[in-house]
Every structure is written in C-alpha cells, then in structure tokens.
Chain A
Amino acid sequence: MIFGCYQHGLDQMTDMKQQTTNTVEEPLDLIRLSLDERIYVKMRNDRELRGRLHAYDQHLNMILGDVEETVTTIEIDEETYEEIYKSTKRNIPMLFVRGDGVVLVAPPLRVG
C-alpha cells in the first residue's frame, strides 16, 4: 500500500493529474523514500514506534501498519538511587499517529 506525499493534495492517489517528483528536494522527501518500509519513529513522552509506513502528510500524521509501541519509564531505586529503565511494549495492527507527537523518523535501528 503506497499512498505518497499529501502536500500536493491526494489527487495523485486517485489518478488525477499531478505527478510525484522523484528527486529529493526537502526533508519530507526523505520520508517519502521510506514509504512501505519499516521505520522507527521517536515520539514525545518517551515513546517509540516501529512499524511499516503506509502514509504520511505534511504534519507528519502517519499511518503505520504492524506497529510495536515501546513506552520507556525510569524508576529510581530507593536505596541505591540507581536508575532502572523499564519498557512496556504493545502491538497494534494499524495505527493512525497524530503528527504533533512525532519527534523523529528513521530507518529501524540495528541493535548493536
């Protein structure tokens, strides 16, 4: 499922005039290159999403498929005062993400 960039209206999806440019001219075009690929999205409030990018728009509203959301919390141990990182994951088959929560979009990180 490839939908393309929404900056110039959704007309290209419905086969009306408007060509999508193939050159990379601005940062959003880099996201266009990741359409239908798995991506990593860092969001506000210590959240991360990994999923397949189906669509996006100029606000970075996105539609992600087969997405895994990771919420990371830091707990401080009362006695040793060390920071314990805890993460909660959940899986969602198809998710619409509102753009104002998105911090960055990248190819999936390789766990090193």
Chain B
Amino acid sequence: EPQHLGPAVCSPRRRRGARVPRGRGGSGRGRVPRAGPGPLQELQPVGERRTMEISHSVKERTIAENSLVILLQGIHGHVTTVDLRDESTALGRITNVDAFMNIRLAEVTFTDRQGRVSQLDDLFVTGRNVRYVHIPDEVDIKATVEKQLQLIHKVRYFGGRDKGRKEFPTARHK
C-alpha cells in the first residue's frame, strides 16, 4: 500500500534535499501494467506529459472510480490553478492526483496568503487543503472521465477472463 506523505510540503528551487528526484515525481507506484510479455513502460521525461497512471491499490481505484476525483486524475498533465484552503494558490502542471485528492504539481507559481509569489519545482498539496481546482477550458470533462474509467477497467480485467487474480472474484456481472 502506498504511504501517504504528511502535510503540504514545498520544495524551493535548488534545495532538493531528500525530495523525490526529478523524473519520478513520487509516482513510481502508479504505472499501468501492459498486457502480455515485455518490460513495464519506461517513465517519460518530466518535460512531456506523462500518461495517466492508475494506482496499484484496489482501495484507491475503487474510491477514485466512485467519486469526482477521477476527473482530477484525468487532467493530469494540464496546467491549472489549485486554490488551497488557506487562500493561497498554486498554478502549475498536475503530475499526479490520488484518490484522496492529494495533488502533486510541477513548475509551480505559488502565491501565498499574503500575496508573495514564489517559484517551486515541485509541490505536494494534501487533499484536505484543496478548496478549488480550476478546470482548463480545453478539457472535455465527459471524455476525460470516461477515459479514466476505461483505464481502471483495463487494469482490473488485466489477464483476461480466466487468468490472473480477480479484483472482485465472485462478481457475476462486469
């Protein structure tokens, strides 16, 4: 089970310390397994939009599938503004959203409550601290949600009908 990080943490430019290094974005656990033989998909460089990563956790998949968080997972890769509960705002590219609405952003312009602006390479916001997420105009909400649902179903039914350990073993309908 992936461990969830503590309260919102900012990483100032050039002082990475123990931060997750670039190119991983803390989502090593989120890769979708490919059907058939072959290695897991290589992580794409952080400069480009990465593919949507479905959580490896059954619990997270179920929570995401049954709430609107799935839309936030779908706008992964877009540049948006996240308004936090304490009136600060973070404008950046969404790199990961989990089922608890914890959001990880890259290349962030962070405006704090007092209006001070700072640039951050990487920002993690705890789900509880999110107030709003601005949805970019170019996002088609219905299509995004359907695509995310399809990805989850692909992971769930991986291996085909008679192979693999089933997520819902006694399910009689799809």
Give residues in A with beta carbon < 8 Å to B.
1, 3, 6-7, 9-11, 13-14, 16-17, 54-59, 61-63, 92-98, 100-101
Q: In the complex, what residues of A have CB within 8 A of residue B174's CB?
A: 16
Main secondary structure of the interface of A (DSSP, over half): mixed
Nearest residue (CB) in B for A47 is: B131
Contact B128 A100 (CB under 8 A): yes
Contact B66 A96 (CB under 8 A): no
Contact B66 A10 (CB under 8 A): yes
Contact A6 B146 (CB under 8 A): no
Q: In the complex, what residues of A have CB within 8 A of residue B134's CB?
A: 92, 94-96
Contact of A13 among B66, B127, B145, B173 (CB under 8 A): B145
Query: When each residue 48-80 of chain B gets 1 if its CB lies under 8 Å from chain A and 0 otherwise, what string results?
Result: 000000000000000001111111100000000
Q: In the complex, what residues of B have CB within 8 A of residue A59's CB?
A: 67-68
Contact B145 A10 (CB under 8 A): yes
Given contacts A14-B146, A55-B141, contact A9 B101 (CB under 8 A): no
Q: Does B105 contact A (CB under 8 A)?
A: no
Q: In the complex, what residues of B have CB within 8 A of residue A94's CB?
A: 134-137, 139, 141
Can you list 5 residue pairs at the A/B interface with Cβ under 8 Å?
A3-B145, A6-B66, A96-B72, A98-B101, A101-B85
Q: In the complex, what residues of B have CB within 8 A of residue A14's CB?
A: 146, 149-150
Q: Does B133 contact A (CB under 8 A)?
A: yes
Q: In the complex, what residues of B have CB within 8 A of residue A56's CB?
A: 68
Nearest residue (CB) in A for B64 is: A10
Given contacts A9-B65, A57-B67, contact A98 B132 (CB under 8 A): yes
